């Protein structure tokens, strides 16, 4: 076994702790510099002298040090290392012409690193930090594999890559002008109309890029990558900010790139339905977030997703998760809700300058999780704000409850430490092992406790906001798109927490979400919003999941089937035999595994 010692520099704070990792290291105390201060002001571990005693891990107050056992053969598969004792990526995924390769794994496990290498924007150092590697030498490293030809052609300048990055919120800073002008400039002499219509961008052509929402920026970025053209297309989390209909249309546009049989496509995403729809093969990333990542595969589409859900990689004989992500076999029943009083809301309307929402009267039972689905711009967040008492209806009425916990769609940073904010929300529960095992560690917040909220990234802030909302003792929980920036396992954690809170606290929970698998995990009933996005919205009263999904998906013209092995929902290809059969039956979601 190869012992790898890693310091996460994002969490290491030597000026605050006085470096007990150095002071208490046995080799250091015996005059052997297993740990010393580096020129960058952070401790550096000498991996050859480290005896793996674990004392530095126990002494580090910020949990910034990890000592990891790796299979010894992976020592020869190191692709890139960011620095001494820093994150390492082992192996790379590959893609054959005419296929789409999906990448599946936790946040911080190396997917974006791998895609940056494959896009040519990050040159892999093969673990040799002191020597810069040319693309020719990188290509030789993969002699006899498909990746060798990929990098050889890149080294010769005969390989063009179109790259859609993960963080699309930076686009307005880098690109100026109107949407139509930007796409025309990228496409050159090629027509843009087909892509514009497929991604529903036509009404945005005259809008300045600085005025676009998150979903509009995402569709612009996807369209730009498609129109740029090339030998390989790379899409890093293309489903973020998109509603269900937009995700299916984006997946269809990406699938269309390989129809010629020559282009290659990589897609990394956390929405299993999206990845299942768009991919031909799957590579799994496992390891320890922020420490190391290992690429396993290729797997066939169904085998790859099911392998990830099981948490065991048979090709490497490695169990990378100690539990299985499981789906219900049958339609969840509303009888799961506990007894007790229900909460009601009357019919109400909310009118803005160019948008009007009509909400039919309804109720929620104690112990229920009400899932809320519908396209972007249809009034879901407005309904949540009405329930939260942040907005009055057109009659001037405001809903008030005894206690309420609200997680907004876009959390705002503030000048406060993570640990202090969570202590305000959770109280004494923060110090319990149950809180640490069910909220802090699963959501990756145990390493962020001493960070300021204003310093967190978008994904870290989102995870904090979810944890803060679920930490409060409340009668009603309102969560607006909690899955944004969360990986599959974190979404599963949130779903389990919602079900437990509803059951044990007798809470009323409302969940606005575009990830249908999260809804499938957590919800007991469904509210469907319909209408014309940006103009008028209509909120139906809550209904059982079967009726709710059938209504919602029939409006979109999309059907799902159940996987035979895992029972997870899988999108049917439009016009396929199963798609046609289910539409004839009127069953768009809850059917027997097939």
Residues 379 and 510 in one domain: yes
Q: What is the CATH number of the domain that holds 62?
A: 3.30.70.20
Of 266, 289, 319, the one marking the end of a domain is 319
Q: Give the structural domain span for 64.
A: 2-70
Query: Is residue 481 assigned to a domain?
Result: yes
Residue 402 lies in a domain: yes
In this prediction, residue 75 carries a pLDDT of 62
CATH classification at residue 477? 3.40.50.300
Q: pTM of this prediction?
A: 0.82
For 280-338, what is each residue's pLDDT tens digit? 999 999 998 888 899 998 999 999 999 999 998 989 888 888 888 888 765 554 444 55
For the segment 153-193, what is each residue's pLDDT rounded down to a tens digit? 888 888 899 999 988 888 998 899 999 999 999 998 888 99
2 has pLDDT over 60:
no
State whether 106 and 21 are in the same domain.
Answer: no
pLDDT in tens, 496-548: 889 888 988 889 999 999 998 899 889 999 999 999 998 999 999 999 999 99
Sorting pLDDT into bands at 50, 70 and 90, what band is 459? confident
- With CA atoms as reference, report the closest residue to 446 among 47, 61, 14, 24: 61
Answer yes or no: do 81 and 128 share one domain: yes
CB 246 within 8 A of CB 215: yes
Instruction: Examine the domain organization and report whether 352 and 380 are in the same domain.
Output: yes
545: in domain: yes
Residue 591 counted as domain residue: no
Which of 70, 96, 118 is the last residue in one of the domains?
70
CB 266 within 8 Å of CB 230: no
Which residues face 348 on adjacent strands? 359
Whether 478 is in a domain gets the answer: yes
Q: Examine the domain organization and report whether 453 and 535 are in the same domain.
A: yes
Give the integer Cα–Cα distance in Å for 349 and 391.
Answer: 11
Domain boundary among 29, 47, 70: 70
* Domain co-membership, 488 together with 506: yes
Does some domain include residue 592?
no
In a domain, 580, yes or no: no
**pLDDT of the residue at 125:** 87
Let me know whether 369 and 437 are in one domain: yes
Distance, CA of 92 to CA of 429 (rounded, Å): 42
Rounded to the nearest integer, the mean pLDDT of the chain is: 87
Q: Which CA distances in Å does 492 have to 241, 295, 326, 522, 546? A: 19, 22, 9, 9, 21
108 and 242 both lie in a single domain? yes
Domain count of the chain?
Answer: 3
User: Does residue 50 share a domain with residue 142?
Assistant: no
- The reply to whether 284 and 422 lie within a common domain is no
Could you tell me if residue 588 is inside a domain?
A: no
Same domain, 342 and 474: yes
Cβ neighbourhood burial of 478 (10 Å; 0-12, 13-18, 19+): buried
Residues 133 and 253 in one domain: yes
């Amino acid at each position: 076994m190869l012992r790898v010692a890693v310091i996460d520099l994002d969490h290491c704070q030597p000026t605050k702790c006085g470096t007990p990792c150095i002071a208490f290291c046995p080799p250091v105390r015996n005059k052997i510099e297993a740990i010393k201060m580096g020129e960058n002001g952070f401790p550096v571990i000498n991996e050859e002298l480290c005896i793996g005693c674990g004392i530095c891990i126990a002494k580090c107050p910020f949990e910034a040090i990890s000592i990891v056992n790796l299979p010894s053969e992976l020592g020869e598969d190191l692709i890139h290392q960011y620095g001494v004792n820093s994150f390492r990526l082992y192996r790379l995924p590959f893609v054959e012409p005419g296929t789409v390769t999906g990448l599946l794994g936790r946040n911080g496990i190396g997917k974006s690193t791998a895609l940056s290498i494959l896009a040519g924007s990050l040159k892999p150092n093969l673990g040799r930090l002191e020597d810069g590697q040319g693309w020719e030498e990188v290509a030789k490293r993969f002699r006899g594999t498909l990746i060798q030809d990929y990098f050889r052609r890149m080294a010769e300048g005969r390989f063009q890559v179109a790259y859609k990055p993960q963080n699309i919120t930076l686009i307005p800073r880098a690109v100026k002008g109107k949407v139509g002008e930007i796409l025309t400039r990228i496409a050159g002499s090629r027509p843009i109309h087909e892509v514009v219509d497929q991604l529903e961008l036509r009404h945005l052509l005259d809008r300045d890029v600085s005025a676009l929402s998150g979903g509009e920026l995402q569709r612009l970025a996807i369209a730009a990558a498609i129109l740029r053209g090339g030998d390989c297309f790379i899409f890093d989390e293309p489903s973020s900010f998109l509603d269900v209909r937009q995700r299916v249309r984006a997946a269809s546009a990406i699938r269309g790139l390989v129809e010629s049989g020559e282009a290659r496509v990589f897609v990394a995403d956390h929405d299993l339905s999206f990845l299942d729809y768009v991919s031909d093969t799957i590579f799994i990333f496992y390891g320890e977030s922020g420490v190391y990542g290992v690429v396993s595969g290729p797997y066939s589409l169904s085998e790859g997703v099911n392998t990830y859900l099981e948490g065991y990689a048979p090709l490497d004989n490695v169990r990378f998760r100690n539990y299985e992500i499981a789906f219900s076999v049958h339609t969840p029943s509303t009888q799961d809700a506990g007894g007790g009083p229900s909460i009601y809301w009357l019919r109400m309307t909310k009118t803005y300058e160019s948008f009007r929402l009509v909400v039919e009267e309804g109720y929620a039972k104690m112990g229920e999780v009400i899932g809320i689905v519908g396209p972007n711009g249809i009034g879901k967040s407005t309904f949540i704000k009405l329930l939260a008492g942040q907005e009055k209806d057109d009659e001037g009425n405001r809903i008030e409850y005894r206690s309420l916990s609200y997680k907004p769609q876009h959390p705002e940073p503030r000048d406060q430490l993570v640990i202090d904010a969570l202590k305000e929300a959770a109280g004494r529960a923060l110090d319990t092992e149950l809180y640490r095992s069910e909220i802090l560690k699963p959501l990756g917040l145990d390493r962020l406790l001493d960070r300021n909220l204003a310093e967190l990234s978008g994904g870290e802030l989102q995870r904090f906001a979810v944890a803060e909302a679920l930490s409060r003792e409340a009668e009603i929980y309102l969560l607006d798109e909690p899955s944004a920036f969360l990986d599959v396992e974190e979404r599963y954690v949130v779903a389990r927490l919602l079900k437990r809170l509803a059951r044990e606290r007798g809470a009323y929970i409302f969940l606005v979400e575009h990830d249908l698998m999260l809804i499938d995990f957590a919800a007991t009933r469904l509210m469907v919003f319909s209408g014309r996005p940006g103009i008028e919205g209509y909120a139906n009263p809550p209904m059982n999941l079967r009726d709710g999904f059938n209504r919602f998906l029939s409006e979109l013209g999309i059907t799902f089937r159940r996987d035979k092995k895992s029972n997870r929902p899988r999108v049917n290809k439009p016009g396929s035999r199963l798609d046609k059969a289910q539409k004839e039956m009127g069953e768009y979601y809850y059917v027997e595994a097939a």
